[in-house]
């Protein structure tokens, strides 16, 4: 059962990507989560660099089972 649910979610994700990736923000329905992937990657790199400069290890903690896929 879980597999079919995951497959359905993946199919929905693919349809949304096909429909909205590359469009302008005015074409995206609201409310929507809009991420700038380059900024996300840059922020992750900055965080890892800052932690490294302080001599700490980094172990990200996130409850992925409690958030919708983005």
Q: What pLDDT sits at residue 15?
A: 94
Tens digit of pLDDT for each residue in 13-63? 899 889 988 889 898 889 988 888 899 999 999 999 999 999 998 887 777
Asked whether the predicted pLDDT for residue 66 surpasses 80, the reply is: no
Q: What pLDDT sits at residue 64?
A: 67
Alpha helices in the chain (DSSP H): 2-20, 37-53
Sorted by sequence, the CB contacts under 8 Å of residue 28 that are 6+ apart come out as 20, 34
Q: What pLDDT sits at residue 1?
A: 46
Asked whether the predicted pLDDT for residue 68 surpasses 60, the reply is: yes
Q: Is the pTM of this model over 0.75?
A: no
């Amino acid at each position: 059962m879980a597999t079919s649910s995951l497959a359905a979610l993946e199919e929905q994700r693919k349809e949304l990507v096909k429909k909205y990736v590359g469009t302008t923000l005015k074409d995206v329905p609201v409310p929507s989560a809009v991420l700038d992937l380059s900024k996300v990657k840059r922020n992750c790199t900055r965080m890892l660099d800052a932690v490294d400069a302080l001599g700490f290890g980094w172990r990200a903690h996130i409850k992925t089972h409690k958030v919708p896929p983005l």
